[in-house]
Structure 1
């Protein structure tokens, strides 16, 4: 622990030592804006991104020598009055890079209230508990939604709505590509869904309506299902895991204790809707699957040149874990795992698959995954802590600037050095969900689970795997939280190892 503390402190001192004098004539990586300028948010964003951003060297406006005077720096900040627009102007996603190894940033995000961002990382949000995908109706701009699952103990759980149902309207208004965000994710805490039916691949409005209310500080338990199935005498653990949340690490470990006690010798890990989350939680889950082998490399971190130069290879290497930090890891010690993953599976979900691949057979059933192979950290206006959010330093955060950033700052590679899955991880067994037959999650006849059980037992399932109406969707409710589909380090540079 001590060596990480001093290295982290060194970064803080490095940042502080770059400060310019008040005359505004000395160039450097930490220019100071005119104190009378209204650019506190933009100044924080530039300084934080100049230090941490993964593609800092590829963004000209983030170069250490970009500004020769404080006046020039101030003018640059003032040229973007809207902090949100400023932030994305210095991300590596506002231009195409042709013939370059630098990938375009698809996932960095921000929030004008860092507390909302921090809460979301803990699974806390305003939600009615309904998770759904959104697709377009034919070649039109009209949009339909289909229910993927419902949170237990949520408002939606008390209403007549369930997995596999469809909707097309909100408060009587047809959903379209131009209005769905306002209607579903706007300030309306209560809305009424107009339901629909599907017949012969045609979606038709129905008279059924369901009114839902978003509840403040709703917390989703990411472990939707954890059951051991007895399939032709084989004990198969089935875990439907919907986000990597560190606040549920002990619950996750308890689920594996249950699997062990019930004699599970196989595992089906269902992350078909899991957009990611905590890197450390992914490490713990991988250890629960493979083993508490603390000498085996799980992942190696790759940061920008500035950060990478401050650390040795060993400092940036993470190993499988033998403890959650509170209790011993309950591991199944498997030599293979079946993973149900789709294009809705991203970041930490993909990380588990990639991190396990050098050590065991990872049989991927489903679709090509999202391709999110970078991790992020939470940054706030606390220069004394190198802008990294720390709940113990709330009093040190600039009270005049509430913005929080979640930029991509690094990439994880597995023990074989592989990290190039920007195009997604390709399934071993391709199978899309079928909107006409989504099935019941956790039921042995649900198509994706049934296909995994067929591989495990060698016995042909009774399920028909023909997909009549693929569950293709362009957006989902999972992506409309402050954290979206980020993979994040809760303790940057693995200070908690």
Structure 2
């Protein structure tokens, strides 16, 4: 019989029209392992990746004929799964395509799925890490602080620097364990800048991670009136769909203020919901529901089952909650984006490009054009996480994986930006002059306003004296990282 399934890929809401006797929504390949072998996690990982992974055909270990459904095949499959007792190493070393930079795992699906909603264990300090020239030492600089967090109650602000933790100098070998280890509380050893020299100070700041800290991605929205221009400015730090209605309200305020120009600040935004990226782009460009926003490409197993309509997403006119979108109908937008801008941030830039003059100010972006699904050990649910099927997840296996399952292209068919999207106007953040977000003198915002107003008099000097050559950031150690996930219904007809 035919099975009709609606997959909400990421948060995994799932509904299907088939009998209770139907097994998996996908055709599982290969045998089952020896039931006495302790390989539940590896078995789940292999079968989920074999079914959904974008590069499944490129990975010999994931080949459909790798393990025939025979007694010999079952033995070989069991031995393969047992070859690596650490599931993390098994995933990284045995299952990933060599060019995959973004698929990842978690040993606790609850922690991962909370992060998709902007909830994580955090002290609220968001920072970049930079390596000193000709040294293995590392320093951090504060980018912003999440409201209502522990850091928000402490004497620490954007632009502050630190060079140590708990009295130990940060290096490329220890920064991960000191800042992102198991300790919930640590003491930052702060530093100052004199000229272009960073010097440790005696100031210390103690920070404690809070469980279930929720970050509203709408960090700041302002409207500036400069001459004949009314300029909207939005600092948006993650594509978190729980805040879509509030995002629409922001654009309502912009529309009511009759703004003429928009500066969209995605410099610290590593990505998130594909549908939220579509909604945001629609708020900028308009509710043009007959114009293509993106086209998806899956692996051959999934792709052949999807119609043209199912593979295409158009601009939206309503939120998921059926609220009419407030749109600006702009023909030009200024987007601040850096190497920390990834996935859904890049999707906005690329998706708008065929329709809107996108002026990208900042740095080359991360270069992530694939989307993913949250997967858990629920074979009858096609391994897709569904909060309504929590009792169906293998109770002996809390692991989750977040594999890349597809790639997005824009209406012009362009998706080749794995090296990142290059800015129209290059301008790095300056450690010695980071500025205050929302202040008209903050360098990246000031540059955008200069471009908008076209002022030829009194132009400021944008020379960067201490470029923020970021090697990583605090967001890359959060469960969500730079993930872009699908969260719209996908109708698949499986025979």
TM interval, short-chain normalised: over 0.9
TM-fit CA distance, 1:3: 6.8
Aligned to 1:360: 356
Please give the alpha-carbon distance, in whole angstroms, between the structure 2 residues aligned to 1:143 and 1:203.
11
Match of 1:465 among 462, 466, 473: 462
Please give the alpha-carbon distance, in whole angstroms, between the structure 1 residues aligned to 2:326 and 2:25.
43
Match of 1:474 among 471, 474, 477: 471
* Secondary structure, counterpart of 2:351 in structure 1: helix
Number of residue pairs matched by the alignment: 476
* Secondary structure, counterpart of 2:470 in structure 1: coil
Is 1:293 paired with 2:297? no
Asked if the contact 1:91/1:105 (under 8 Å) is kept, the reply is no
Is 1:48 paired with 2:52? no
More displaced 10-residue stretch of structure 1: 195-204 or 478-487: 195-204
TM-fit CA distance, 1:16: 6.2
Asked if the contact 2:443/2:462 (under 8 Å) is kept, the reply is yes
1:198-217 aligned at under 5 Å gives the runs 198-217=193-212
* Secondary structure, counterpart of 1:323 in structure 2: coil
1:277-296: CA deviations, max 9, x gaps? 01010000001000011111
Higher relative contact order, structure no. (Cα contacts within 8 Å, ≥ 6 residues apart): 2
Is 1:264 paired with 2:259? yes
Is 1:254 paired with 2:249? yes
Cα 1:433–1:11 shift into 2, 3 Å? farther
1:191-228: CA deviations, max 9, x gaps? 11111012232211011111111100001110111111
Aligned to 1:77: 81
TM-score of the superposed pair, with normalisation by structure 2: 0.93
Aligned to 2:61: 61
* Secondary structure, counterpart of 2:395 in structure 1: coil
Please give the alpha-carbon distance, in whole angstroms, between the structure 2 residues aligned to 1:416 and 1:439.
37
Please give the alpha-carbon distance, in whole angstroms, between the structure 2 residues aligned to 1:261 and 1:3.
43
Match of 2:154 among 144, 159, 176: 159
Cα 1:440–1:44 shift into 2, 3 Å? same
More displaced 10-residue stretch of structure 1: 146-155 or 110-119: 146-155
1:392-411: CA deviations, max 9, x gaps? 11111111111111010000
Asked if the contact 2:46/2:95 (under 8 Å) is kept, the reply is no
Match of 1:425 among 412, 421, 426: 421
Is 1:384 paired with 2:359? no
Larger strand proportion, structure 1 or 2?
Answer: 2
Asked if the contact 1:109/1:406 (under 8 Å) is kept, the reply is yes
Is 1:39 paired with 2:39? yes
TM-fit CA distance, 1:473: 1.1
TM-fit CA distance, 1:492: 6.0
* Consecutive unaligned residues in structure 2, runs of 5 or more: 8-13
Cα 1:17–1:87 shift into 2, 3 Å? closer
More displaced 10-residue stretch of structure 1: 9-18 or 225-234: 9-18
Please give the alpha-carbon distance, in whole angstroms, between the structure 2 residues aligned to 1:17 and 1:376.
17
RMSD across aligned positions (CA): 1.9
Is 1:406 paired with 2:402? yes
Please give the alpha-carbon distance, in whole angstroms, between the structure 2 residues aligned to 1:210 and 1:173.
14
* Secondary structure, counterpart of 2:224 in structure 1: strand
Please give the alpha-carbon distance, in whole angstroms, between the structure 2 residues aligned to 1:417 and 1:371.
16
Aligned to 1:120: 115
